[in-house]
C-alpha cells in the first residue's frame, strides 16, 4: 500500500491525534513545520518521493488550520515530476492550497499544457482536473483550444473527455472570450454520448452554456428529453451508473435543471414526450423503505415538480403538483417537509394555484412552530409569500405570536416581515397600528428604526388614525416596563396628537407630560431628543396655560441647555428661545405636515436580508410582484379612511431631528410653504379639509394636503415647467397634457408635473397613475449612461390593450426602449427597460407618448421622462487650490457666466445645500470664506466629453433671501449655460416673471484661505 | 455553481477533510466558517432535516457514526441529490476500505482526496460510477 511508504505521515497524524489539547497540537505542528522547512531549505537534492511525503504533511497541517505558505513552491514543483505518484500529489495539493491568481501557477503553465496535449491519459486527467479547479484567465487563454479538442476527439477515452468537459466549463467561465460559437451543434452531438460519466459532466457544461444563452441551444432540447427517456426507461444504463436501482439520479436531475432554462417547449412531439416522462415521475414515485432509494427518487420528483411549474403545464398536471406538495408539507419526514415548503414557495409564481396553497395554511402554520429552524425558516418564507388581503390578519397574528418564542436568529427577519405584511395588506389602518405597536412591545430590540418611522408616517398622513394612535400610545405608557423604541413612538405620537385626547381621563397635557417624563431618566440621548420635542409640543397645546407645567418643562429645558450632546443642547436652547416668542411657538411647533412619498426602506431591507440569509427566491418573487399586489389591494379597499400603500415609493423616514424647525427639505419644496422668520424657518400648518374620497383612496401619499393648498403648488410647478415645455395649460387644471387636444375621459389621479419634478430629484417613484394604470419608474445613472425601467401596472381585472409607448428623444439623448407588450394582463405589471446615452448638455426633455385602450376608451398621455441634465452629473469635492486654479483659468463668458437672480425662493443656506445635493452638485464648504456664499462642484458626463468639471458659486444676501448671484464655470460654454438655467429653474420662485438677468463680468475673488489638500482622488478628478 | 465545499468533521469538531471549490477564503475565514457550520450542525438532532441555511450557503449534511459529512452548495442545487451524493462518496470509500471508519479517512487522507477528486471537479459532479472513481487508486496500489 502507498501508505507503507509514508510512515512518517502516519506517525505525524497519530501524534497530532494523541494531543490532549490545542496547545499541544500547536507545538507538535510547529515542530513538524520546522522540520519540513529545514528539509526543503537544506536538502537541495530532496527526492521527489520525500517531497511528496512532506507535501502531504503540509496539506494535513493546512487542513488543521495552520499557515503553510512557505511550502507552496514545493507543492507546485512536484507537478513537473516525471513519475505519476509525485505528479499526482503535486496537482492535487496545488489545487487545495493555491487559488487561481497565485503567481506560482504561471510557472507551470507549460508543464500543464504539455501534460494536457501529451499522450499519457493519467497525466491528462490530472492536469485537466487542476485547471478545472483553479485555472484562471491565463490558463484559459493558452489552453482553451486544446481542451475543446480533447472533449470532442473521437480518439480520446471517456475518462479524459469527462474531465475536459468540466475543465472547459471553468475556462469558459474565467474568460468569456473563449470561442464557443457554433458550439450548439457540437453540444447536440455531445448530448448523444453513451458513456454516462461523460454525460454527467457534459450536462453541467450544458447547463452553464444554456444559462448564458438559451437561444443558441434550442437544437439540444430534444436531446435532453431523449436522455430523460433513456434513463427513465432504464435503457442502456450500465449497472455501475444505477444508484439503488435508479439510473443516475444526478444526470436526471441536471437534465431537468437544464430544461428549466428554456422558456417553453414549442415542438409538440418533444413536449408530449417530455410530459410523458414527467407524468411517469409524478405518478410513479412511491415512498420506499430504503432511505437512499427513497431520497434519490424524491430528488428526481422534486426536480420534475420544478420543471412542471416552470413549463406551466396543462392545468391537470399543475394541480397534481400542488396536491403532491400539499401531501409533502404534512409528512413527518423532515427533509421532504422542508422541500415541500420550499417548492410550494416557488410555486407561488404560478398565479392560479394560490388558492389551493392557501388551503394548506393551517398545516404551514404548524411548521412555523417546528423544532427545526430550517423548517421554520421555510414556513416563514412561504407564509410571507402567500400572504394577501384575505389572510393577512391570520398570518400576521401568527407571526406576532411566534415572535414570543422565536429564536434570536430569526426575530429581526420575523419582525421585518410582519411589518411589511401588515403594511401591505392591512384591512384597516388601526389594525396596522396595533400590529406595529405590538411588534415594538414584544420584540423592540429587533424592530429597526425604519419600522417605527413608518408607522409615524402613516399616522401623520392619516387624520382618522391620529386619535386612535394617540390613545394606544397612551395605553402602552401605562406599562411598567417599556422598550425604548416604544417610548420614542409614544412620545412622538403624544407630542403631535395629545390635544386630540384632551377630554379623556388621564390625558390632560400635564398628565401626559408626567407619564412620559417618568421615562426620561432611563433613556438614551436619541430618545431624550425626541422627548424634548414632545415637551415643547405639549407646552404649545397647553391651553389655558398651566403655569406649573410650564415651569416644569422649562426647568427641564434649562437642565439640558448645557448638556454634553450638541443635538440635545441645541434643542433645549431653541425651545427656550421659542417659548419666549409666544405666538411664534405655535407656528413653529405646529403639527407635522404630511410626508411626501418615499422609497420603501423596509422593502429594501428585506432585499438585503435576503442576500444575507441566502433564502430561496421567495422574497425576490414577492418583490417582483409587489406593485401588482399593491394595485390589487387598492382596488379591493373599502372606501373609508384606509390608506393604500404606493409600492414604488413608500417610506419616508423622519430623520433624527423631527421638530418642525429642522424638517426635511423636500417637504419644504414640495409644499412651497416656507416663510422667513428670523433664524428659524417656519412651516404653516395646513388646515386640512377632508380630501375627496377618490384621492384619499387611490393616492393620499401623492396628494400632499388639501386641494385648497395644493392648487397654488400645482400652478407654481406648472409655471416652473413651462420653461421646459411650452404646452398650453388650462388655468387650475391638472397638469395633464393631451395629444391633439383629444379629450381623455380618463383623468390621472396624480399630479403629473409634480411627479416629474420629484423624479428629477430622485430615482424611483410613480410617474403617472390613473384609475386603470400606474406607471412607475426606477432609474440608475452611471456617468453618461442611464437605465430606466418603466413599470406598467394594470390595476384592473380586465387587460389593458393596444398599449403603445413611443419616445420622442431630444437630439442630445440616444435612447433605446425595449419592446412594450401590446397587452398588460389583468393586475399584472410589466417592466420596460429603457437605455439612455447622453451626448451633450441640454435641458430638453424626452417625452414618452403613451397610450392604451380600456374598454372602448383610448387614453393618450404625454409624459416627460426625468432623464434631465442633472442626472448626468456626478458630485465631486475639490480642494481650494484646485478650485481656484480652475476658477481663474475660466475667465469669463461664455465659459463662465454670472447672473443675478431675483424672486428667488427664500431658502436658507442648508436648504440650498440640500437642494444642490439632490441635483448631484457637491457642496464644498470651507472654500469660500464668506459664510453667506456657497461653492459646489460636479462633473458632467456625456459620450463625447466624458467628465467635465463644473464649478458653481452662489452669493446670497442674508438680509434679502429673495435675491442671489450665481456664477457657473466649465470649459464647455453650452454646458455652462444649460446648467445655469437648470439650477435657476430650481431656485427661482416664479420664472414667468422673468428675473432680471444681468450678466456681469466675473468679479475678483474674495480672499480665501486654502483648505489643506488631503484628497488625491479629488485632485486627480479635478484635473480632468 | 454547484458544490462550494466538502467538509468531513467529527463529533469533536476536528476537521478530517476539507475541499473548497472556487471559494477564495483566507485561512481565518475558513476556520471561522468551519467552526460556525459545525456548531450549527452538531446542535441538530436526528429528527431534524438534513439542510441548514448558513450565510450564502445551504449546507446539506449527513452523519455517519462519529463523522459528519457536510457539503456546502449554493441555492441552485437539488438538495436530495447532494444528500445521496454524500452517500455515494461513503459507499465508494466503503468499497475501497471495507467498512470505512473515521480512522481510515484520517490516516489515508490522500486516498480520500483522490476519490473526491475523481467525483467532483470545480463544484460539479464528474463521475458516479464507483469502479471508475476507484480506478486511479487501484492503479497506484498496483504500481507500488
DSSP per-residue string spanning A447-477: --HHHHHHHHHHHHH-GGGHHHHHHHHHHHH
- Give the per-residue SS3 of A149-181: HHHHCCCCCHHHHHHHHHHHHHHHHHCCCCCCC
Count A/B contacts: CB-CB distance under 8 Å. 183
Average pLDDT over residues A476-484: 89
Please report residues of A whose CB lies closer than 8 A to that of B54. 614
User: What span, in angstroms and rounded, lies between the C-alpha atoms of A74 and A65?
Assistant: 19
Average pLDDT over residues A471-490: 90
Q: Helix H segments across A286-407?
A: 291-311, 315-328, 334-347, 354-358, 361-367, 373-386, 392-403
Task: Provide the edge-to-edge strand list for the sheet that holds A764-769.
Answer: A764-769, A773-782, A785-794, A829-838, A813-817
- In terms of pLDDT, which residue wins out, A716 or A442? A442
Map out the domains of chain B as residue ranges.
Answer: 3-143
Q: Do A374 and B51 touch (CB under 8 A)?
A: yes
β-pairing, A847-854 with A801-808? Answer: antiparallel
Optimal mutation site among B16, B51, B52, B55, interface A, most CBs of chain A within 10 A: B51
What are the CB-based long-range contacts (under 8 Å, 24+) for A15-23?
Answer: A16/A60, A16/A64, A17/B106
What pLDDT score does A600 carry? Answer: 60
Q: Other CB atoms closer than 10 Å to residue A525's CB: what's the count?
A: 11
Inform me whether the pLDDT recorded for A704 exceeds 60.
Answer: no
What pLDDT score does A989 carry? Answer: 59
Average pLDDT over residues A59-84: 90
- In terms of pLDDT, which residue wins out, A118 or A691? A118
CA angle A810, A816, A821 (to 5 degrees): 120
Inform me whether the pLDDT recorded for A1016 exceeds 70.
Answer: no
pLDDT > 70: what percent of chain A? 81
User: What span, in angstroms and rounded, lies between the C-alpha atoms of A311 and A314?
Assistant: 9
pLDDT > 70: what percent of chain B? 99
For A865-945, list the strands marked E by DSSP.
Answer: 873-875, 896-902, 922-923, 933-942
Inform me whether the pLDDT recorded for A212 exceeds 90.
Answer: no
- Closest CA relative to residue A831, chosen from A867, A797, A792: A792
What pLDDT score does A30 carry? Answer: 93
Q: Do A372 and B49 touch (CB under 8 A)?
A: yes
- In terms of pLDDT, which residue wins out, A752 or A31? A31
What pLDDT score does A219 carry? Answer: 92
Q: Report whether A218 contacts A233 (CB < 8 A).
A: no
Measured between CA atoms, how close is A222 to chain B, in angstroms?
23
Global model pTM greater than 0.90: no
Average pLDDT over residues B98-117: 92
Q: Do A250 and B128 touch (CB under 8 A)?
A: yes
Optimal mutation site among B33, B90, B126, B139, interface A, most CBs of chain A within 10 A: B126
> What's the distance, Cα to Cα, between the start and end of chain A in Å?
69
Q: Do A338 and B58 touch (CB under 8 A)?
A: no
The DSSP output letter for A684 is P
Q: Other CB atoms closer than 10 Å to residue B36's CB: what's the count?
A: 12
Between A114-118, A743-747, A881-885, the lowest mean confidence (pLDDT) is in A743-747
- In terms of pLDDT, which residue wins out, A580 or B53? B53
Q: Report whether A285 contacts A298 (CB < 8 A).
A: yes
User: What span, in angstroms and rounded, lies between the C-alpha atoms of A952 and A219?
Assistant: 60
- Closest CA relative to residue A956, chosen from A916, A920, A912, A997: A912
H or E element at residue A969: strand A960-969
Average pLDDT over residues A657-667: 39
Please report which confidence band the pLDDT of residue A766 belongs to, taking 50, 70 and 90 as the band edges. Answer: confident
Inform me whether the pLDDT recorded for B94 exceeds 70.
Answer: yes
Q: Other CB atoms closer than 10 Å to residue A891's CB: what's the count?
A: 11
Average pLDDT over residues A222-238: 91
Residue A208 Cα distances to A119, A205, A214, A259, angstroms: 29, 5, 10, 12
**Residue located via cell numbers 430606466:** A788
Cell of A768: 403617472
What pLDDT score does A630 carry? Answer: 28
Optimal mutation site among A334, A367, A370, interface B, most CBs of chain B within 10 A: A334
What pLDDT score does A729 carry? Answer: 37
Inform me whether the pLDDT recorded for A683 exceeds 90.
Answer: no
Q: Do A374 and B49 touch (CB under 8 A)?
A: yes
Q: Do B140 and A2 touch (CB under 8 A)?
A: yes
> What's the distance, Cα to Cα, between the start and end of chain B in Å?
37
Q: Other CB atoms closer than 10 Å to residue A623's CB: what's the count?
A: 17
How far from the centroid of its chain's Cα atoms is residue A150's Cα?
Answer: 44
| Alpha-carbon torsion (A206, A212, A214, A216), positive or negative | negative
Q: Report whether A817 contacts A705 (CB < 8 A).
A: no
CA angle B15, B18, B19 (to 5 degrees): 175
Q: Which listed CATH number (3.30.450.60, 3.40.50.300, 3.20.20.70, 3.40.225.10) goes with B3-143?
A: 3.30.450.60
What pLDDT score does A1015 carry? Answer: 43
Quick one: angle between helices A547-560 and A509-517, nearest 10?
A: 30
Which of B15, B27, B80 faces A298 most closely, judged by CB atoms? B80
Q: Helix H segments across A922-972?
A: none
Q: Report whether A187 contacts A148 (CB < 8 A).
A: no
- In terms of pLDDT, which residue wins out, A719 or A327? A327
Please report which confidence band the pLDDT of residue A748 belongs to, taking 50, 70 and 90 as the band edges. Answer: confident
User: What span, in angstroms and rounded, lies between the C-alpha atoms of A419 and A401?
Assistant: 14
Average pLDDT over residues A857-870: 85
Q: Is B126 on the interface with A (CB under 8 A)?
A: yes
Q: Report whether B52 contacts B27 (CB < 8 A).
A: no
Inform me whether the pLDDT recorded for A9 exceeds 80.
Answer: yes
CA angle A909, A573, A680 (to 5 degrees): 30
Between A43-47, A114-118, A463-467, the lowest mean confidence (pLDDT) is in A43-47
**Residue located via cell numbers 491565463:** A138
CA-based diameter of chain A, in Å? Answer: 102
Residue A196 Cα distances to A176, A192, A661, B84, B137, angstroms: 28, 10, 74, 18, 21
Please report which confidence band the pLDDT of residue A601 belongs to, taking 50, 70 and 90 as the band edges. Answer: low
What pLDDT score does A1022 carry? Answer: 36
What pLDDT score does A608 carry? Answer: 59
Q: Report whether A258 contacts A203 (CB < 8 A).
A: yes
User: What span, in angstroms and rounded, lies between the C-alpha atoms of A368 and A91?
Assistant: 48
Each residue of A134-188: pLDDT tens digit? 988 889 988 999 999 999 988 899 999 999 999 999 999 888 777 777 788 899 9
Please report residues of B whose CB lies closer than 8 A to that of A341. none
Optimal mutation site among B128, B134, B139, B141, interface A, most CBs of chain A within 10 A: B128
Average pLDDT over residues A538-549: 81
Inform me whether the pLDDT recorded for B67 exceeds 90.
Answer: yes
Q: Do A92 and B117 touch (CB under 8 A)?
A: yes
ipTM of the complex: 0.97
- In terms of pLDDT, which residue wins out, A475 or A49? A475
Cell of A410: 430569526
Inform me whether the pLDDT recorded for A676 exceeds 60.
Answer: no
Q: Other CB atoms closer than 10 Å to residue A349's CB: what's the count?
A: 18
Q: Report whether B108 contacts B97 (CB < 8 A).
A: yes
Each residue of A805-824: pLDDT tens digit? 888 778 888 887 777 778 88
A847-872 burial by CB neighbour count: b if 16+ within 10 A, else e?
Answer: bbebbbbbeeeebbbbbbbbbbbbbb
Mean pLDDT of chain A: 78
Q: Other CB atoms closer than 10 Å to residue A503's CB: what's the count?
A: 8
What pLDDT score does A599 carry? Answer: 54
Each residue of A982-1008: pLDDT tens digit? 888 888 754 433 334 444 444 444 443
- In terms of pLDDT, which residue wins out, A966 or A653? A966
Q: Is B131 on the interface with A (CB under 8 A)?
A: yes
The DSSP output letter for A801 is E
Phi and psi at A964, nearest 5°, equal -160, 170
Q: Report whether A150 contacts A138 (CB < 8 A).
A: no
Cell of A494: 403624544
Q: Report whether A668 contacts A911 (CB < 8 A).
A: yes
Phi and psi at B63, nearest 5°, equal -110, 130
What pLDDT score does A825 carry? Answer: 78
What pLDDT score does A1011 carry? Answer: 39
Average pLDDT over residues A39-66: 86
Inform me whether the pLDDT recorded for A907 exceeds 60.
Answer: yes
**Residue located via cell numbers 441555492:** B75
User: What span, in angstroms and rounded, lies between the C-alpha atoms of A855 and A760?
Assistant: 33
For A654-733, list the strands marked E by DSSP.
Answer: 674-675, 682-683
Please, is A433 exposed, middle or buried when counting C-beta atoms within 10 Å of its C-beta (0-12, 13-18, 19+)?
Answer: buried
Cell of A179: 470561442
What pLDDT score does A609 carry? Answer: 54
User: What span, in angstroms and rounded, lies between the C-alpha atoms of A869 and A802?
Assistant: 32
Amino acid at each position: 500500500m502507498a501508505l507503507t511508504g509514508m510512515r512518517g505521515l502516519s506517525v505525524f497524524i497519530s501524534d497530532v491525534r494523541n494531543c490532549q489539547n490545542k496547545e499541544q497540537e500547536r507545538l507538535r505542528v510547529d515542530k513538524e513545520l520546522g522540520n519540513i522547512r529545514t528539509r526543503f531549505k537544506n536538502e537541495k537534492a530532496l527526492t521527489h518521493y520525500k517531497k511528496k511525503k512532506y507535501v502531504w504533511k503540509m496539506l494535513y497541517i493546512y487542513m488543521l488550520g495552520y499557515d503553510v505558505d512557505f511550502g507552496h513552491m514545493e507543492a507546485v514543483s512536484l507537478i513537473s515530476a516525471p513519475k505519476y505518484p509525485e505528479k499526482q500529489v503535486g496537482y492535487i495539493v496545488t489545487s487545495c492550497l493555491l487559488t487561481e491568481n497565485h503567481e506560482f501557477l504561471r510557472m507551470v503553465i507549460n508543464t500543464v499544457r504539455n501534460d494536457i496535449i501529451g499522450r499519457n491519459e493519467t497525466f491528462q486527467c490530472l492536469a485537466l482536473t487542476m485547471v478545472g479547479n483553479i485555472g484562471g484567465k491565463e490558463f484559459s487563454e493558452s489552453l482553451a483550444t486544446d481542451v475543446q479538442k480533447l472533449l470532442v476527439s473521437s480518439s480520446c477515452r471517456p475518462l479524459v473527455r469527462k474531465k475536459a468537459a468540466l475543465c472547459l466549463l471553468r475556462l469558459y467561465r474565467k474568460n468569456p472570450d473563449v470561442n464557443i460559437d457554433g458550439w450548439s451543434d457540437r453540444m447536440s452531438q455531445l448530448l448523444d454520448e453513451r458513456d454516462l460519466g461523460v454525460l454527467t459532466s457534459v450536462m453541467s457544461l450544458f447547463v452553464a452554456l444554456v444559462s448564458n444563452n438559451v437561444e443558441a441551444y434550442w437544437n439540444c432540447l430534444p436531446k435532453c428529453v431523449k436522455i430523460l427517456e433513456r434513463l427513465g426507461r432504464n435503457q442502456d444504463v450500465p449497472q455501475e451508473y444505477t444508484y439503488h436501482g435508479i439510473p443516475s439520479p444526478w444526470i436526471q436531475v441536471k437534465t431537468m435543471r437544464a430544461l428549466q432554462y428554456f422558456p417553453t417547449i414549442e415542438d409538440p412531439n418533444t413536449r408530449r414526450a417530455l410530459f410523458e416522462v414527467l407524468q411517469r415521475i409524478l405518478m410513479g414515485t412511491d415512498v420506499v423503505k430504503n432511505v437512499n432509494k427513497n431520497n434519490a427518487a424524491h430528488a428526481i420528483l422534486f426536480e420534475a415538480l420544478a420543471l412542471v411549474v416552470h413549463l406551466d403545464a396543462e392545468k391537470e398536471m399543475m394541480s397534481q403538483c400542488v396536491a403532491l406538495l400539499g401531501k409533502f408539507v404534512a409528512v413527518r419526514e423532515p427533509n421532504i417537509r422542508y422541500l415541500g415548503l420550499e417548492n410550494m414557495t416557488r410555486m407561488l409564481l404560478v398565479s392560479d394555484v394560490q388558492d389551493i396553497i392557501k388551503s394548506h395554511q393551517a398545516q404551514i402554520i404548524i411548521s412555523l412552530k417546528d423544532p427545526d429552524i430550517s423548517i421554520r425558516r421555510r414556513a416563514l418564507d412561504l407564509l410571507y409569500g402567500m400572504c394577501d388581503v384575505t389572510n393577512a390578519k391570520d398570518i400576521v397574528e401568527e407571526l406576532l405570536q411566534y415572535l414570543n418564542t422565536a429564536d434570536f436568529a430569526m426575530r429581526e427577519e420575523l419582525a421585518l416581515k410582519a411589518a411589511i405584511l401588515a403594511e401591505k395588506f392591512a384591512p384597516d389602518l388601526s389594525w396596522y397600528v396595533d400590529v406595529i405597536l405590538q411588534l415594538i412591545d414584544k420584540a423592540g430590540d429587533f424592530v429597526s428604526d425604519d419600522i417605527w418611522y413608518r408607522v409615524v408616517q402613516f399616522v401623520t398622513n392619516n387624520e382618522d388614525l391620529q386619535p386612535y394612535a394617540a390613545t394606544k400610545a397612551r395605553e402602552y405608557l401605562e406599562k411598567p416596563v417599556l422598550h425604548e423604541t416604544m417610548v420614542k413612538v409614544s412620545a412622538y405620537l403624544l407630542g403631535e396628537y395629545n390635544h386630540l385626547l384632551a377630554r379623556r381621563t388621564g390625558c390632560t397635557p400635564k398628565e401626559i407630560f408626567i407619564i412620559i417624563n417618568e421615562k426620561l431618566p432611563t433613556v438614551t440621548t436619541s430618545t431624550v431628543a425626541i422627548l424634548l420635542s414632545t415637551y415643547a409640543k405639549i407646552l404649545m397645546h397647553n391651553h389655558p396655560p398651566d403655569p406649573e407645567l410650564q415651569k416644569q418643562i422649562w426647568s427641564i429645558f434649562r437642565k439640558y441647555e448645557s448638556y454634553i450632546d450638541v443635538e440635545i443642547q441645541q434643542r433645549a436652547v431653541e425651545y427656550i428661545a421659542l417659548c419666549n416668542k409666544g405666538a411664534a411657538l405655535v407656528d413653529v411647533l405646529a403639527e407635522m405636515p404630511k410626508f411626501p412619498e418615499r422609497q420603501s426602506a423596509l422593502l429594501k431591507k428585506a432585499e438585503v436580508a435576503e442576500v444575507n440569509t441566502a433564502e430561496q427566491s421567495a422574497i425576490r418573487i414577492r418583490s417582483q410582484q409587489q406593485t401588482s399586489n399593491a394595485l390589487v389591494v387598492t382596488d379591493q379597499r373599502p372606501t373609508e379612511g384606509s390608506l393604500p400603500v404606493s409600492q414604488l415609493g413608500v417610506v419616508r423616514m423622519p430623520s433624527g431631528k423631527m421638530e418642525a424647525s429642522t424638517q426635511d427639505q423636500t417637504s419644504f419644496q414640495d409644499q412651497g410653504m416656507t416663510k422667513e422668520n428670523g433664524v428659524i424657518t417656519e412651516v404653516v400648518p395646513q388646515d386640512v379639509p377632508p380630501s375627496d374620497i377618490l384621492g384619499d383612496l387611490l393616492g393620499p401619499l401623492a396628494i400632499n394636503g388639501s386641494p385648497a393648498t395644493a392648487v397654488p403648488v400645482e400652478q407654481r410647478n406648472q409655471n416652473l415647467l413651462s420653461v421646459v415645455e411650452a404646452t398650453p395649460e388650462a388655468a387650475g387644471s391638472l397638469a395633464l397634457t393631451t395629444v391633439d387636444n383629444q379629450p381623455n375621459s380618463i383623468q390621472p389621479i396624480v399630479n403629473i408635473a409634480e411627479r416629474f419634478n420629484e423624479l428629477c430629484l430622485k430615482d424611483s417613484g410613480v410617474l403617472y397613475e390613473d384609475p386603470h394604470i400606474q406607471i412607475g419608474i426606477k432609474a440608475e445613472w452611471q456617468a453618461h449612461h442611464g437605465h430606466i425601467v418603466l413599470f406598467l401596472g394594470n390595476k384592473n381585472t380586465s387587460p389593458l390593450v393596444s398599449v403603445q409607448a413611443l419616445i420622442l428623444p431630444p437630439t442630445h439623448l440616444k435612447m433605446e426602449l425595449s419592446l412594450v407588450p401590446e397587452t398588460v394582463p389583468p393586475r399584472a405589471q410589466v417592466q420596460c427597460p429603457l437605455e439612455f446615452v447622453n451626448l451633450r448638455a441640454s435641458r430638453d426633455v424626452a417625452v414618452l407618448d403613451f397610450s392604451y385602450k380600456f374598454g372602448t376608451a383610448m387614453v393618450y398621455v404625454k409624459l416627460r421622462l426625468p432623464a434631465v441634465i442633472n442626472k448626468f452629473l456626478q458630485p465631486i469635492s475639490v480642494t481650494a487650490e484646485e478650485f481656484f486654479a480652475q476658477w481663474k483659468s475660466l475667465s469669463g463668458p461664455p465659459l463662465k457666466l454670472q447672473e443675478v437672480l431675483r424672486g428667488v425662493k427664500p431658502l436658507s443656506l442648508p436648504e440650498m445645500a440640500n437642494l444642490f445635493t439632490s441635483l448631484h452638485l457637491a457642496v464644498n464648504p470651507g472654500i469660500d470664506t464668506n459664510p453667506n456664499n456657497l461653492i459646489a462642484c460636479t462633473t458632467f458626463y456625456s459620450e463625447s466629453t466624458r467628465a467635465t468639471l463644473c464649478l458653481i458659486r452662489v452669493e446670497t444676501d442674508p438680509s434679502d433671501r429673495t435675491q442671489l448671484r450665481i456664477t457657473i464655470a466649465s470649459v464647455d460654454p453650452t454646458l455652462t449655460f444649460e446648467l445655469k438655467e437648470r439650477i435657476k429653474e430650481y431656485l427661482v420662485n416664479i420664472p414667468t416673471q422673468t428675473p432680471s438677468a444681468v450678466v456681469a463680468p466675473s468679479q475678483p475673488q474674495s480672499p480665501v484661505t486654502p483648505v489643506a489638500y488631503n484628497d488625491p482622488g479629488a485632485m486627480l478628478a479635478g484635473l480632468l | 455553481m454547484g458544490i462550494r465545499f466538502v467538509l468531513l468533521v467529527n463529533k469533536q469538531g476536528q476537521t478530517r477533510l476539507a475541499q473548497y471549490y472556487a471559494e477564495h477564503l483566507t485561512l481565518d475565514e475558513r476556520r471561522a466558517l468551519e467552526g460556525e457550520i459545525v456548531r450549527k450542525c452538531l446542535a441538530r438532532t436526528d429528527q431534524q432535516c438534513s439542510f441548514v441555511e448558513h450565510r450564502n450557503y445551504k449546507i446539506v449534511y449527513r452523519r455517519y457514526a462519529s463523522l459528519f459529512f457536510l457539503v456546502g452548495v449554493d441555492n441552485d442545487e437539488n438538495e436530495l441529490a447532494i444528500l445521496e451524493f454524500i452517500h455515494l462518496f461513503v459507499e465508494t470509500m466503503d468499497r475501497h476500505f471495507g467498512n470505512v471508519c473515521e480512522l481510515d479517512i484520517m490516516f489515508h487522507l490522500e486516498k480520500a482526496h483522490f476519490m473526491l477528486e475523481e467525483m467532483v471537479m470545480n463544484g460539479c459532479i464528474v463521475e458516479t460510477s464507483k469502479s471508475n472513481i476507484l480506478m486511479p487508486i487501484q492503479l497506484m496500489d498496483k504500481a507500488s
